[in-house]
Amino acid sequence: MTERPTEPRITPVDLAADRSPDSVDPELAEILSGALTHDGTPLNIFGALARHPKLLKRFNLLGGYLLNKGLLPARERELVILRIGWNAKAVYEFGQHTIIGRQAGVTDEEISALTKAPDGHPWSADDAALIAMSDELSDDDCVTDATWERLVTRWSEAELVELLVVAGFYRLVSGFLNSAGVQLDEGVPGFPD
């Protein structure tokens, strides 16, 4: 595994630090005003993505849809995101979604279990299929026939599309976070012990 940066490679935009009116892009200020914040400052992921405002705007559209308007139940979505984050060793992704996952009903025991082999926890058949899907996409970018057969017994075709997109989107996010050296926001947990 490639060592993860311990310092930001892309410095997050900090609109509060630069208050001169000529230096603040109004479109960027508007985009960041709608981003998730920690004590009024956009989360580090959004600050780093803000180095490319037009991309950030579209990133927020897809990410916001998947988190807030998708078809998938929040708990199941979070199981996938957490497992993808773990597989990518993306501590930022895992930490943020530990918080979101808890809000969606994922227990601390389940969050910890997502960092281990799936056979060490009594997952339901549906949860085990989601974990297998996440692992297979992380390992080989394709879900096996056996796992697909398990998934289709529970999920509609539209939900299957969304599951694959959620996994792919958060693999992209994890790679960005790892490579850009995005650091944990204050108060966000890392990986469980």
* Cα angle value 27/166/192 (rounded, 5°): 100
Confidence (pLDDT) at 24 = 64
As a whole number, mean pLDDT of residues 119-132 equals 95
pLDDT band of 99, cuts 50, 70, 90? very high
> Residue 37 — φ and ψ, nearest 5°?
-125, 165
User: What domains lie within the chain, and their CATH numbers?
Assistant: 21-68 (no CATH), 74-180 (1.20.1290.10)
Confidence (pLDDT) at 190 = 95
| Sign of the alpha-carbon torsion through 12, 14, 17, 19 | positive
Cβ(182)–Cβ(48) below 8 Å: yes
Sequence-distant (6+) residues with CB within 8 A of 23 are none
Q: Is the pLDDT of residue 21 over 60?
A: no
DSSP state of 181: T
CA 106 to centroid of chain Cα atoms: 15
As a whole number, mean pLDDT of residues 122-138 equals 98
Q: What is the pLDDT of residues 138-190, one digit of tens each?
A: 999 999 999 999 999 999 999 999 999 999 999 999 999 999 999 999 999 99
Confidence (pLDDT) at 25 = 77
What is the pTM assigned to this prediction?
0.93
